[in-house]
Amino acid sequence: MLLPDKTAMFKDEECRGGKQSKVRLTVLLAANEDGSENLPPLVIGRSEKPRCCGKVKPFLFKYKANGKAWMTSETFGDWLKFIEKSMRVKNRKIILFIDNCCA
């Protein structure tokens, strides 16, 4: 699928008459082992105020902005503090397994 300005949408697609798309998103998902409890997703994009979410006030996910849409150690630390606070309120203890995270 090509965007209207003829840029490539995906990494493996050929780019015809334009530059490679710079659209980036990072999504962090978390759930318990059997999937019965899901935490709100964390979405990291490039825009402080994305146009697609302009009229949506109560997000079903947490959104953070970063110039390259990457997970930073600060963003990851904030997310961990949020998880710790929510689990402490529920008087729960958890083990967190993380895969492929350089933050």
Range of the domain at 29: 23-90
Residue 7 lies in a domain: no
Residue 11 is predicted with a pLDDT of 62
Residue 2 lies in a domain: no
Count up the domains in the chain and report the number.
1
Residue 78 lies in a domain: yes
Strand partners, 27: 43
Instruction: State pTM to two decimals.
Output: 0.67
Residue 38 lies in a domain: yes
Q: Tell me the per-residue pLDDT of 79-90, one tens digit each, with 9 for 90 and over.
A: 889 888 988 998
Q: What's the rounded Cα separation, in Å, for the pair 48 and 89?
A: 30
Residue 13 lies in a domain: no
Q: Tell me the per-residue pLDDT of 39-80, one tens digit each, with 9 for 90 and over.
A: 888 888 888 777 776 777 667 788 888 888 888 889 889 988
